[in-house]
Amino acid sequence: MRRPIFVMRGGSALAVRRRSAEGFAFLSPVVIVLVVTVGGPLLFTLAISFTSASFLGTLADLRIVGLRNYVTVLTSTSFQHAFIVTIEFALFTVTAEMLLGLGTGLLLAEEFPGRTLLRVLLIVPWAIPTVVNAITWRLIYAPDFGALNALLQQTGVITDYRSWLGDPSLALYAIGVADIWKNFPIVGLIVLAALQTAPRDLYDAAHVDGAGIFRRFSTITLPHIAGPLMVALILRTIDTIKVFDIVWVMTRGGPFSSTKPMSMLVYERTFSNLESGIGSAIAFIITLVCLVFIIAYTRLLKRQSRSA
């Protein structure tokens, strides 16, 4: 069907109006979905956090309590403990992932036989579902028959099998190792992709100039990967602040709540203890912490797209 051409690029008022109508039509499905599945729920949770709502309770029981839930939460030892657990977990895993990822990326940038195959293999930890990873490591740590115990015993590091996930001082780090294993490869691949944009001749020139390994790394390599690495850092940090699945499957928050992060506290309070007001308050606090990082991320993205 042929239509007369009314719309000129960057042209008349008609064009602008048509474009806005277009924009509306094109964007509205997405907006609707987000309002229904994200925006609405977010506001709902915020509202509930100021009440004494109870899961499965009736509206008649609802009372507005203002900031009391937040005060209760922030002053409760269980929340403070969960906050520390979350931060500890985040620091440990993200640091390790960045370092290991950096090393992996640098390694893969080198030429050696089997390099392509190795690159493909790195996808496997990323592709494995989170809960399957959690189960695998739970089996590895099993006190009666786990691979870790077997390995350490057969190499003489320990004499008796021991429990790893049952030790309050070790459990969180044991879970951390499982999370690191799953995520450091993708960081490595991101670093690799960034490295491959670095011009080769710059390296060669520096080499000829006699610059040592560290000098080359800090002045040439690092600037190229800093951006992507920062992005990966922020994304992974947000992920660890939200962590739930892997801890739920590996220890359920035990032993002695030494592995209970904030998100598990939300689940407990909201759905197990049926104290939805409190649970929502905790959830919102987690959101605020995440928001800090989300804003940092979007700023970083904007800066990068401007310079790209």
Partner 1 sequence: MRRMAILTAAGLLAIVVLAPVIWLMILSVSSTADIYTVPLRWIPSDWDLSRYGRLLAPDPSGNTSPFLLALRNSLIVGVAGTVAALAISAPAAWHISRAHAGEGLLHVMVGTYMLPQTVMALPLYVMLSSSGLLNRPAGLVIVYLGFLVPFTTWLLKTGFDQVPRQLDEAARVDGLGAFGIMVRIGIPIARASIATTALFALLMAWDEFFYALLFTSNAAAKTVTVAIVDFTSGRVSDYGLVAAGGVVAALPPVLIGVLLQRHLISGLTAGGVKG
Partner 2 sequence: MKKYLIATLLVLSLAIHLALARPVAADDAKTLNVLVMSDTAYSDKDVSSMTASFNTEHPDINVKVDFVPYAGLRDRILLSQGSDGAYDVVLIDVIWLAEFVKRDLIIDVTDRVDSSLRSQVFDGAWKTADLNGRLYGFPWLVDAKFLYYNKKMLSDAGFSAPPKTWDEMNNQAQVLKDKGIVKFPIVWNWGQNEEIVCDFAYLLAARGGQFFASDGKPAFQSEGAKVLDYMRSQIHSGIANPSSREYNAEDGRRAFLSGEAAFSFNWQYVYALSKNPAESKVVGQVGVAPVPAGPGAPEGTSVNGSMALSITKTSKHPEEAWTYVTFMTSKDLQDKYAKAVLPVWTASYSDPAVVAGQEELAAAAAPNFKNMVLRPVIANYVQMSSALQEGIQAVLYDKAEPDAVLADIASSVGNQ
- Footprint on residues 45-104 left by partner 2 (CB under 8 A): 55-56
Contacts to partner 2 from residues 198-257, by CB under 8 A: 252, 254-257
| Residue in the block written with tokens 């995440």 | 290
Q: Where is 101: in which H helix or E strand? A: helix 77-109
CA distance 185 to 120: 10
Cα Rg of the chain (Å, integer): 25
Residues pairing with 64 in the sheet:
51
Choice between 128 and 220, CB closer to partner 1? 128
The CB-of-205 to partner 1 minimum distance in angstroms stands at: 20
201: contact with partner 1 by CB under 8 A: no
95: contact with partner 1 by CB under 8 A: no
286 binds, among partner 2, partner 1, none (CB under 5 to 8 A by kind): partner 1
Contacts to partner 2 from residues 255-284, by CB under 8 A: 255-257, 268, 271-274
170 binds, among partner 1, partner 2, none (CB under 5 to 8 A by kind): none
Choice between 29 and 210, CB closer to partner 1? 29
286: contact with partner 1 by CB under 8 A: yes
Choice between 59 and 308, CB closer to partner 2? 59
> What share of residues in the chain are helix, strand, coil (percent, to 5)?
75, 0, 25
Dihedral (CA of 284, 286, 289, 294) sign: negative
- Site for partner 1 (CB under 8 A): which residue of 123, 205, 222, 292? 123
143 binds, among partner 1, partner 2, none (CB under 5 to 8 A by kind): partner 2
CA distance 52 to 275: 7
Choice between 217 and 297, CB closer to partner 1? 297
40: contact with partner 1 by CB under 8 A: yes
Residue (of 182, 171, 185) closest to 89 by Cα position: 171
Choice between 172 and 192, CB closer to partner 1? 192
Q: Residue 129: which residues within 8 A CB-CB, separation 6 or more?
A: none
DSSP string covering 156-217, please? TS-SS---STT-TTTHHHHHHHHHHHHHHHHHHHHHHHHHTTS-HHHHHHHHHHT--HHHHI
The CB-of-137 to partner 1 minimum distance in angstroms stands at: 7
Contact range with partner 1 by CB under 8 A, out of 68-76, 87-95, 145-153, 162-170: 145-153
Choice between 118 and 169, CB closer to partner 1? 118
The CB-of-176 to partner 2 minimum distance in angstroms stands at: 19
Q: Residue 216: which residues within 8 A CB-CB, separation 6 or more?
A: 203, 206, 207
Measured from the Cβ of residue 263, the count of other Cβ atoms closer than 10 Å reads 20
Contact pattern for partner 2 over residues 125 through 154, marking x by CB under 8 A:
------------------xx----------
Choice between 136 and 258, CB closer to partner 1? 136
Q: Where is 125: in which H helix or E strand? A: helix 123-127
Count residues binding partner 2 (CB under 8 A). 17
Q: Where is 121: in which H helix or E strand? A: helix 115-121
- Interface residue list for partner 2 (CB under 8 A): 55-56, 143-144, 163, 166, 168, 252, 254-257, 268, 271-274
